[in-house]
Amino acid sequence: MIDIHCHIVYGVDDGSYSKAESLRMAQIAAHSGVTDIIATPHSIPGMFDNFAGEELDAAFGRLEKLIADNGLDERLRVHRGMEAFANDDTLDRLENGQLLTLAGTDHLLIECEFGEDPEYFGGILLRLRRRGIRPVIAHPERYYFAQDDPKFLLDYVDMGCALQLDSGSVTGMFGHRSRRTALELLDIGAVQLIGSDAHDSESRTPDMREAADLIANEFSHRYAELIFDVNPARLLKNRRLLFPGDESEGKRRDPFMTDEEFWGV
Ligand SMILES: [Fe+2]
């Protein structure tokens, strides 16, 4: 599995608070079958001022060294990214080079206020799309407007944005409205990515197995594979993300395909 959303960098936001905690999170990830993590500190002006530059580079460097010093680097690759915040200055921050995309690709992880106006958020997403960015919307199932009516999210998908569920929403950690919305989005095949959005080693951990099992059982093994493995691997290569169904276009007749050929990773 690949985790594209994780607050494992210590001391920079409300995620990991220490070196020891980051090590515990890395161990949980590796033991639960995660091979790659994109470390995504919050970048919220005035709250978590994490912007591209020396300070943030140093924080990523400390995490990478911690993982290497403890012999985990062969099992767990760490990539750099951030969870950008949507507000009036997002476009300026992009143009000033202050935002980090996911692992240096065109995909930008972006969140908004839980009570944000969906049209305002949509306007920012559209402007990002016009600049060649492929927004990955962090935990859409937790936004109030989406819980009231997921149609706005489908407009964002039409625009070329990807929806990234939090694994904890699927298992019910964020309450029934988030869970119901997550399951609805899965049911209509609108979800392309999932992430742990882990903040610690005890309650919001990097272990996504429960959510993966639930999706495999309630929907399909292929769907779970698509959002936990295939699309994140494609994202790391800056390739277009697939929807459920895309993967087998024109390929269904050949029963001897390898998984790799089937998915086109
Ligand atoms: Fe997050």
CATH number reported for the structural domain that contains residue 193 in this entry: 3.20.20.140
Task: For residue 247, tell me if it sits in a domain.
Answer: no
Task: For residue 9, tell me if it sits in a domain.
Answer: yes
Task: For residue 256, tell me if it sits in a domain.
Answer: no
Distance (angstroms) between ligand 1 centre and the Cα of 42 equals 7
Distance (angstroms) between ligand 1 centre and the Cα of 40 equals 7
pLDDT in tens, 232-256: 999 999 999 999 988 665 555 565 6
Task: For residue 245, tell me if it sits in a domain.
Answer: no
pLDDT in tens, 169-223: 999 999 999 999 999 999 999 999 999 999 999 999 999 999 999 999 999 999 9
Task: For residue 213, tell me if it sits in a domain.
Answer: yes
pLDDT in tens, 129-163: 999 999 999 999 999 999 999 999 999 999 999 99
Distance (angstroms) between ligand 1 centre and the Cα of 166 equals 9
Distance (angstroms) between ligand 1 centre and the Cα of 134 equals 18
Task: For residue 176, tell me if it sits in a domain.
Answer: yes
Task: For residue 264, tell me if it sits in a domain.
Answer: no
Domain count, the chain: 1
Distance (angstroms) between ligand 1 centre and the Cα of 202 equals 16
Give residue 34's domain range.
2-239
Distance (angstroms) between ligand 1 centre and the Cα of 83 equals 6
Distance (angstroms) between ligand 1 centre and the Cα of 5 equals 6
Distance (angstroms) between ligand 1 centre and the Cα of 219 equals 25
pLDDT in tens, 45-91: 999 999 999 999 999 999 999 999 999 999 999 999 999 999 999 99
- The residues, ordered by sequence, that sit 6+ positions from 55 with a Cβ below 8 Å of its Cβ are none
Distance (angstroms) between ligand 1 centre and the Cα of 197 equals 5
CA distance 102 to 235: 8
Task: For residue 260, tell me if it sits in a domain.
Answer: no
Residues with CB under 5 A from ligand 1 (ion): 83, 197
